[in-house]
Structure 1
Amino acid sequence: MFDPEEIRKDFPILNREVNGKKLVYFDNAATTQKPIQVINAIRDFYMYHNANVHRGFHTLSQEASQMYEEAHEKVAKFINAYSWREIIFCSNTTEALNIVAYGWGLWNLREGDEIILTVMDHHSSMLPWRLMAKLKNAKVKYIDITNDGYLKYELLEEFITEKTRVVAFPIASNVLGTINDPRRIARLAHSVGAIVVADGAQSVPHLPTNIRELEIDFLAFSGHKMLGPTGIGVLWGRQELLESMHPFKVGGDTIKDVTLDDVVWHDLPWRFEAGTPNIAGGIGLGAAVDYLLKIGMENVREHEKALVEYTLKRFGEIEDVEYYGPRNPRDKTGVIAFNIKGLNHHTVGSALDLFGIAVRTGMHCAHPLHYRLGLKGTVRASYYIYNTLEEVDYFIEALEKIVSLRESLKSKPPTEVCTGT
């Protein structure tokens, strides 16, 4: 049985106090905390197996290589990929999306081609394609959203034409939590021969992911948002597309042979993993996948839905709290963006920190989405497997206290901080 109280025992950082209060960590959309199993996997590698991969026949190198390749296999199983060779390790979602933009877009886009993005895109999904459009003199179109945070699919049907070559979108919004329909988008895109690039940074850690059912061509996600270490991300791509692509970065371990006149690129996935990779990061991600598979992603999803449903119900008890995105918990991940009327979002975030509650404030690397909503920023609470209903109650109590002190807090201008992810 899924028991967040038992799960919490695996996360040492949750024993911390912040400002004299027990830590309540609601910044999981930015990065999740790490269970002791992941920490120990990384520690074990460095203590007993540390060596470079694919570089030697000595025992340590063979052990490291096997552990690193097994991590690819674990991730492939986690998303039900056709082959572990479709799993490319990189630094994060941002690099994964750039691999597609440079490796496919740079070589295939032509003048006059069209790229379809969405207003709710994270900058990491939006900006690589905007750069490609500028380089190739292609055109970018944006799918707008409804006022309650859903994609306007009718615009997608209108915008997709024979000129469309790329459709890129987030499976789940990092601000609104909106869960989009990959198959509906993919079928429209594929009807005109376009490729489909999905940003899974906010979906893979939270929703059961079966890549064979999504009908997309590429999927990018990050390890640190799903209990893994920072500095490790994943690009999944259809094998035939990956085989046709040029490497984004080239050098050590990307080749089978090099002469002064020619190069023979390595097999998948190594042609896209240039240089010494983040070996420990990959092994740590494998341990995170083991942990999530043991819990069950269906349980992860149901737990977050329950937390969101309860939070939105409690929000109705607080005067002057505005929240954004879908109202139905079935349509969103465990992300809630909100504001308190009359208070700057940074002020609210700083005040919550005094209660030991960690949230994100700013525009969350989604400036166009905030401008579309007429906002200069939001407070973002985001949940994961170790968060509890009791923490939500404490969060609501803190917000009620902040609302009661609103007039005094207005006189304290917020300190500008990084807008974050």
Structure 2
Amino acid sequence: MMTTTSTIPFDIERIRADFPILDQEINGRKLVYFDNAATTQKPIPVIEALMNYYRGYNANIHRGIHTLAEKATADFEASRRAVRDFLNAPSAEEIIFTSGTTMSINLVAQTYGRHFLKEGDEIIISGLEHHSNIVPWQMLAGEKGLTIRAIPVLENGELDLYTFEGMLSERTKIVAVNHASNSLGTVNPVKEIIAKAHAAGAVVLIDGAQASSHLDIDVQDLDADFYALSAHKIYGPTGLGVLYGKRALLEAMPPYMGGGEMIKEVTFEKTTYNDLPYKFEAGTPNIADVVALKAAIDYITKIGKPNIAAYEHQLLQYATEQIGQMDGIRLIGQAKEKISVLSFVLEGVHHQDIGIILDQQGIAVRTGHHCTQPVMDRFCILGTTRASFAMYNTMEEIDKLVAGLQRVKKLMA
């Protein structure tokens, strides 16, 4: 098979050398890691940042006056500023650290949603949402008597924006959609969605978990009210997320959890809450992982989001061409704008069997419904095989995937 040569101005082999986990064998084969939509691997600078914190200045932050506490606090807040720049947020005070995108969405649902929505109000989500952007709104709707409506998905995996416009009304209070689909790769026109929602008087939350590692994010240009993401999707640690919120909204919202750090003064009669962002960061935070997140952002910034996006687009184009032309393969989701996610079904073969056989060849893919069961229902399937690509993947690895799928067909014939 002919392999396309990359024209992107960065050294793929040097990048791969920064990710030690890739230099191993699985079942006697060199690892091919195509499960990046689930979590990305971590470069050496991120791993070293974690080790340096625990080895050199492990201490609690903000309230200590000793040297270790002051260094830990300085590095923790430096990461907050790095996230601000990464999202082009107006201020670092609008950056809230959470445990992940899931917690960020739940925070908005259980603070803004519970405080400002009333019976009869409507929440619009989309048919492309991850369960984490469905279930929190269902929980809120059940508690407060709200209605949830979903934007339909077209056959090519894009949202039906014409129908969306007709769904908006004075009852619409929140619109919550993803920037990019984790199961299909569809990039949604969120700037347009936000503008239409704002015209109807609704507040908008964008789930940026998938988009954040692939696309330039500018929350001011988007005019997003809330934007959520997870560190582990952008080459950072697990168990850490971010919620950006417009200052006026965050100040109007009640705290999500009570405890230390989120207070100014506590008596048995009354508690005064802290200023932003600390009002939403109760207790000892995930200090080490926050510190390491800056290393991940610095790594991405050094290589350059445009370079990463262009290279990943080449990978997606090549994989779509090679796999799409195979007999018996049906690609699920062929939107015009996609991140580097390729989902497909193989006629007569269960997706789980595909994943097992590929793993025997050292190829890691994701199989199942990808926490998007409504998407699977839309296409009348139980699940897909999903290959998702990152900046350290290669055309040669895609060739191995194609060869692996040929083997699956032969074994399952």
TM-score by length of 1: 0.95
- 1:405 corresponds to which residue? 411
- Counterpart-to-counterpart distance in 2, 1:327 and 1:405: 32
Give runs of aligned pairs for residues 4-403 of structure 1, distance below 5 A.
4-326=12-334, 328=336, 331-403=337-409
- 1:410 corresponds to which residue? none
Offset from partner CA, 1:361-390 (integer Å, 9 cap, x none)? 111111111111101011111010100111
- Counterpart-to-counterpart distance in 2, 1:201 and 1:317: 30
* Paired letter, 1:353: D
- Counterpart-to-counterpart distance in 1, 2:377 and 2:98: 31
With 205-214 and 345-354 compared, the bigger mean Cα shift is at: 205-214
- Counterpart-to-counterpart distance in 2, 1:47 and 1:310: 43
- Counterpart-to-counterpart distance in 2, 1:229 and 1:66: 19
- Counterpart-to-counterpart distance in 2, 1:350 and 1:94: 28
- Counterpart-to-counterpart distance in 2, 1:337 and 1:273: 37
Matched residues, percent identical? 45
- Counterpart-to-counterpart distance in 2, 1:354 and 1:57: 54
Offset from partner CA, 1:16-50 (integer Å, 9 cap, x none)? 10000000000000001000110000100111111
How far has the Cα of 1:316 moved from its partner?
3.4
Q: Secondary structure at the match of 1:225?
A: helix
- Counterpart-to-counterpart distance in 1, 2:254 and 2:105: 14
* Structure 2: gaps (5+ residues): 1-8
Offset from partner CA, 1:104-137 (integer Å, 9 cap, x none)? 0000110110110111100101111111111110
- Counterpart-to-counterpart distance in 1, 2:335 and 2:88: 31
Q: Is 1:182–1:215's contact at 8 Å kept on the other side of the alignment?
A: no
- 1:411 corresponds to which residue? none
Alignment root-mean-square deviation, CA:
0.9
Q: Secondary structure at the match of 2:211?
A: coil
Aligned residues: 405
How far has the Cα of 1:91 moved from its partner?
0.5
- Counterpart-to-counterpart distance in 2, 1:144 and 1:38: 39
- Counterpart-to-counterpart distance in 2, 1:3 and 1:28: 20
How far has the Cα of 1:174 moved from its partner?
0.5
Offset from partner CA, 1:31-80 (integer Å, 9 cap, x none)? 01000110000100111111000121011101100010000000111111
Q: Secondary structure at the match of 1:234?
A: strand
Q: Secondary structure at the match of 1:229?
A: coil
Q: Secondary structure at the match of 2:97?
A: strand
- 2:4 corresponds to which residue? none
Q: Is 2:324–2:331's contact at 8 Å kept on the other side of the alignment?
A: no
With 2-11 and 37-46 compared, the bigger mean Cα shift is at: 2-11
- Counterpart-to-counterpart distance in 1, 2:10 and 2:272: 49
Q: Is 2:324–2:330's contact at 8 Å kept on the other side of the alignment?
A: no
Offset from partner CA, 1:268-314 (integer Å, 9 cap, x none)? 11111110000001011111000000011111111111101001111
- Counterpart-to-counterpart distance in 2, 1:30 and 1:293: 22
* Structure 1: gaps (5+ residues): 408-421
Q: Is 1:112–1:138's contact at 8 Å kept on the other side of the alignment?
A: yes
Offset from partner CA, 1:83-103 (integer Å, 9 cap, x none)? 111111111100010010011
- Counterpart-to-counterpart distance in 2, 1:85 and 1:16: 42
* Paired letter, 2:396: E
